[in-house]
Structure 1
């Protein structure tokens, strides 16, 4: 953090008195920010963005100031350094950017309405009130809000409202906190409220477009999560309430504002009678993630954004720890293994990826840190490794001491390692920093060399990568006692293999449990031994075997064709995680065929063979006695049958559609997207298309809306594709927050890819103007790179994005995604003949 001065270096606030007047009609904000603090010098700066500064006083006396919009600053010259009270009057626009203070739009019974909410992370509090808008600048806040109030509206903030005078709502003084965690909202809301064992009020708030019972699930999870965290952290929840608010327009998934957590509607409200189990699990983990932050991030906050992982990685791990405790039957760690783990392993294998800890200064670059596969998923996996090493007893003791030492203040990564290491009696920092500070991860090569069982580590790359000799301290988790807990060397010789194999009575394996962030390449002898004893492997071990082989094939360390004959060996599994991984591999084979070719027909036969037995066992509708595994597996296998163009599957889906034609939302949610998509693809016409699009506009059920998006973007009709793309910029139909899913859906549709790609290239400026200030913006590049796999598309991708390489916040994403598409194109060219021959060998 050298070279750039922070506002906090010049002025250190202790207390804010903030008045904000919001006029929804004129879309204008006016206000006054009064800040008590310590000026370290006479020349200071306070942050603002897009504001008109009316006046600045220091201790009641007008002072000179200049607004520097490029640096988002107000430069102020004070009469003297020392204790000072600044008062800044300002005006600002109320924008539709989903940043700062902004309106959310929705309809109830055809009537258009709006509520006002906030999003201040990362650097958008400065759009709402002049402030030292940096995580380290913690202070107490007194907030007063005035707005064009209508009867029956609710107003919420971090703390309880204490009084209303002359239309101004005053809130209780906050605890010491960072600006990015301030939040407020107002509008015509409904709520449900309960109280935890320790007396914390917990509430869920949403617009009246939702049915009342759509708030019940979130209320139950939130209450039990706070009770769990108070016990696990051994630290009380420090505020009087915890409100959860669903905003109709919300760029991120959710935001951990202290005491007023905000969410996309899709991640808070759900129909308790017809929502799939995986959606319930997802919503639960989002809620528990944000509530984990109330301690880890809010009570103790990273000192600067380079330690963002300290907030996000930890909350990402804790969401699973807490859901596992409050809903043990869900086996939620399996979801971690099928979502976070493969995302981290895939992304982290591309040369040029960021490390979990990254130095950053430019505000435009801060949002680029939010690489979900690294800061969230890899970081969480890193912490899962640590938890497995030290155990829960030491972890909880360390966390209690960490919170006690740093509460209401800031911390850095080493503060956490030291607290946990002291509790565990272990040098945690020296182990974890090899994962925190370095990008990438190792492949551990396990082989028999001259009769000796030998392990080596080397950085694993998918695509071209420069090996600079990185080494990791690897928690091996081997099933052979001779293997050490930690492998820190490049090579490790464990002893005579024949003797060790005989003594153990089982095949040699490492990373048992798949909790450490590396993959394993077994030589032919060791791999065959594992495959010969496949029936002895638990579900996670089978997942891991397929996962590692797939990645090794992506990295060209083995042939993709060698995996194909293994797939039928896993097809009869009743485990959700095995099926999730099996079909991840099978779906990856689609890139080796061209649409409607003989090769694709052979691949469809393979999908039919893989899925037929399980489709027959599970059927299309839930059974009263079926397991969670069965519920979660059904979508994988029926989706495979539909890709295979199995006539029985197509008819079964059509009959489900016909049987629910009067209320399509009543189709069982676990297969509903597949039923709707099947109808559009195989029985579709313009009337059906228009009906489903109208359903999308009218529905407030986020899960159902996502299913309709899945269906509509799959249309093969060029005329309807054009019609759909014409709605991309119509916010009355597709909200900007939801647009990426629609774009990706059409792009992944072979019949729609050219139209979607033309749209984003032609209307990039519109997209930038609409969602460009948002941390999600670069993911439009990411999803495009996920789909493209031909030489022509690669050339077009480079032609369009390379001129944007120097755009702040986009450089790393563009560079990495070019590599990702290049690697995929080269892999297909090298492997397609062998892969298709291997498929033919199975199905002929």
Structure 2
């Protein structure tokens, strides 16, 4: 296996002059790049990928060079080490896989248009210009761009435009930055602007396929986020502007290019009249995440990709810190509990999962580092632990010093811990190393043994595993003072339980506020005490009980059947976090039943009973009296009622569809997807299918498009299933960026699962060619693992994917997801009968 070679060890760039002449008609560009820097050896290595290098000069003289396509390199013989200037002339094609320089496709009033933009993270800048394309190789950049410009078009870049000469747009010199943060975009754009209190210009841009008021929400959030971070970090935003650009085609959610952040349209644009509250939450947190990066990631950057978490984990935490400050009425940390925390706990329980900090041994492994549940979610949860452990003041003091010391440079995690330790007086590194350098997380068991209250830790697993006897320094956050701040031991005795219980006057609990990355297993005595006083607990504590017990059931440490009654116990809660925990339990119970079986009928009845009271209370349409929680709970209740095939709910959804048949977008945003799916399931026809496909093609609102694709992929007719599969590869209908959602929808549909599974096996190479450069590409495999639950499907999965284990970018995902399916199969075989008996027994 090829090892990663650091090109910066051969040549250290200081400044780039980049000229690009881009032609959308021919999908090609010509380039000239001049790099000044220092050669450390000869030959030097410069990155390129798919560039047709015509000439290379060293200090003005034509030089010998060798291009190695396997290593993405240009090896250049230089006369001597020391300062020298490199000149390159080259040409290349625009890509069509959303990396490098690429076109986005869209229509305005039926007219096809293109917007050209960039995506250089992780290592795609080399597709646009020769460079030392590594995070540590920071330099300044002068960018000049010419393109087949038409009247009224706009071009944006990291820095302000300084002049236009003979059709060439020249931009101000950037600050010192990494190549992967260079960005530009141009096309027929509209924009809205504002300015922060410190004078930073804020702009939000989109194509003219969208109404202008769809930009307003992002303008407001971006402005207030920049202002918040300047105050929080106690460090000024270092650029004159912050542009936010919505792209019709974009592989990720967003990208933190310095001064020109790029987004999926769904992650930036908001229809003010009809957008669900969860979608507003998502857009706001994505914007805050990317703007948090402008300091943490852009101003100070990880030295190498093994410290990617240093960028992403921190930004993931800060998006919630920021939005909680900007919109306290949203209670955004509750969304964190049911989103990031849940994702991290689920992924991190599979043996073989990567650690937050992971060594990169092969270039193909770089993109696999972007595991959202680990690098983003788990990493942020570990940082939340640190924030709680050292306190807000120490965190901010440490960050201010960190930015001042390392601005425009590169760091490792140890550099951050050094500053936080100095600010707090605590050995932060000693705690963090146990969480970042080893995978997984502990289950802390609390039990009463011979009258003594005992706690112990061991790694928690779901599925087959090899226990490596890992230990953590665990912030316990207990409500009993006798429990230590950090559990460092394998096992610890806390004292006489009866006396401790009497003195405390409340049940013993660990991980208050669910702030540390572990779950708790209480013995029967302690759990019964907690459940007896459950009504006295806050919503997060109730969520934690349900969540931890569900994970313990998934890991077969407790019976899943014992969790079933708890769903009913908390079913009347009005809290969104409790309802989401209940919904997750109910969703997981679905894997124990087969379609059209008596067991499924019993589960439908159980879910219908649990949702009936809430459905009567909330109804289908928003009410002026709705609380924040009511608004967020309603979609879960509607989903449950329709799964239960409640006839009144089916009829109400159909009536709503009929009332809005001429303009389905106007259906209430919170209920729209459920109305559409209900219509397809119970009133479906070829005509309805075609109507929804046309609506999908004509829609400009991305959340509405998501609702339509969810409905379209829920078809049950064999011929319509076949039509859906045909649409997978029709980019005029399904953009490659949206294909993952379509595939997941059809695979999760029992009537379409076989067709979706056949398609991905048959057309795997097409998929690799189309979106294989996407850092989220392996999530296609994850989707399959989350869906399959039989021995037969496990065998088919292994037969197809095990031959791909040797591919470095797929090895970990295939290995883990094989275990995920195997653990699901084992759980169903072991506990299925008992679970279904519990469900039947719970029905009234």
Is the structural similarity TM-score above 0.5? Answer: yes
Q: Find the counterpart in structure 2 of residue 524 from structure 1.
A: 524
SS in 2 for 1:339: helix
C-alpha deviation, 1:566, in angstroms: 1.5
- Spell out the pairing of 1:282-681 with structure 2 (5 A cutoff): 282-681=282-681
C-alpha deviation, 1:4, in angstroms = 4.3
Q: Name the CA distance, whole Å, in 2 between partners of 1:112 and 1:523.
A: 64
Root-mean-square deviation over aligned CA pairs: 0.9
Residues 551-605 of structure 1: CA deviation (Å, up to 9, x unaligned): 0000010010111112111100000000001010011000000001000000001
Give how far 1:330 is off.
0.1
Whether the 8 Å CA contact 1:270–1:702 is kept in 2: the answer is: no
Give the corresponding residue for 1:151: 151
After superposition, the C-alpha distances for 1:537-558 in whole angstroms (9 at most, x for unaligned) are 1000011100000000000100
- Assess if the C-alpha contact under 8 Å between 1:191 and 1:204 holds in 2: yes
Match of 1:57 in 2: 57
Give the drift of 1:42. Answer: 2.2
- Residue 249 (structure 1) aligns with: 249
TM-score (norm 2): 0.99
Q: Residues 646 and 2 from structure 1, CA distance in 2 versus in 1: closer, same or farther, beyond 3 angstroms?
A: closer
Cα distance between partner residues in 1 of 2:5 and 2:80? 20
* Further displaced range: 242-251 or 85-94: 85-94
Q: What secondary structure is seen at the aligned counterpart in 2 of 1:501?
A: helix
Shift, 1:363, TM fit: 1.9
Listed as ranges, the gaps of 5+ residues in structure 2 are: none
C-alpha offsets along residues 452-494 of structure 1, whole Å, 9 cap, x if unaligned? 1000000000011111110000000000011111000001111
Query: Is the contact made by 2:788 and 2:794 (CA closer than 8 Å) also made in structure 1?
Result: yes
Is the 1:123–1:363 Cα contact (8 Å) retained in structure 2?
no
Distance in 2 (CA, whole Å) between partners of 1:103 and 1:435 is: 41
Aligned to 1:827: 827
Deviation at 1:808, TM superposition (A): 2.3
The CA deviation string for residues 267-300 of structure 1, in whole angstroms up to 9 with x for no partner, is: 0011011000011001100000000000000000
SS in 1 for 2:360: coil
Q: Show structure 1 runs of 5+ residues with no match.
A: none
> Under a length normalisation based on structure 1, what TM-score does the superposition of the two structures give?
0.99
Match of 1:133 in 2: 133
Paired with 2:179 and 2:317, the residues of 1 have a C-alpha distance of 25
Alignment correspondent of 2:740: 740
Aligned residues: 844
8 Å CA contact retained: 1:713, 1:721: yes
Q: Using the alignment, how far apart are the partners of 1:716 and 1:630 within structure 2? A: 32
Q: Is the 8 A contact 2:2 2:362 kept in 1?
A: no
Q: CA 1:3–1:714 in structure 2 vs 1: closer, same or farther (change >3 Å)?
A: closer
1:119, 1:6 → 2: CA distance? 21
| Partner SS state of residue 186, structure 2 | strand
SS in 2 for 1:809: coil
Give 2:218's aligned residue: 218
CA contact (8 A) 1:434 1:472 kept: yes
Bigger mean CA offset, 4-13 vs 633-642: 4-13
After superposition, what is the alpha-carbon deviation per residue over 1:343-400, rounded to whole angstroms, capped at 9, x for unaligned? 1001000000000000004221100000000000000000000001111111000000
**C-alpha distance in 2 between matches for 1:348 and 1:616:** 38
Could you tell me how far 1:3 is from its partner in structure 2? 6.1
Cα distance change of structure 1 residues 809 and 4 upon mapping to structure 2, 3 Å threshold: closer
SS of the counterpart of 1:513? helix
Task: Write the distance in 2 (CA, Å) between the matches of 1:701 and 1:296.
Answer: 31
Structure 2 Cα separation of the partners of residues 448 and 205 of structure 1: 61
CA distance in 2, matches of 1:828, 1:98: 40
Report the equivalent of 2:811.
Answer: 811
SS at match of 1:731: coil
Aligned to 2:32: 32
Task: Give 1:710 deviation, angstroms.
Answer: 1.0
Return the offset for 1:774.
1.5
| Counterpart position of 2:5 | 5
- For residue 193 of structure 1, give the secondary structure of its aligned residue in structure 2: strand
Secondary structure at the residue paired with 1:775? coil
Once residues 90 and 452 of structure 1 are traced to their aligned partners in structure 2, the CA distance between those partners, rounded to angstroms, is 75
Secondary structure in structure 1 of the residue aligned to 2:198: coil
* Preserved contact between residue 15 and residue 36 of structure 2 (Cα < 8 Å): yes
> Residue 2 of structure 1: CA displacement?
12
Aligned match of 1:170: 170
Q: For the Cα contact (< 8 Å) 2:17–2:33, is it kept in 1?
A: yes
Counterpart-to-counterpart distance in 1, 2:261 and 2:361 = 27
Rate the CA distance shift 1:574–1:299 in 2: closer, same or farther, 3 A.
same
Structure 1 position 760, deviation (Å): 0.6
Deviation, 1:239, is 0.1
Measured in 2, the distance between the counterparts of 1:242 and 1:784 equals 39
**Secondary structure, counterpart of 1:480 in structure 2:** coil
Q: Does 1:710 align with 2:697?
A: no
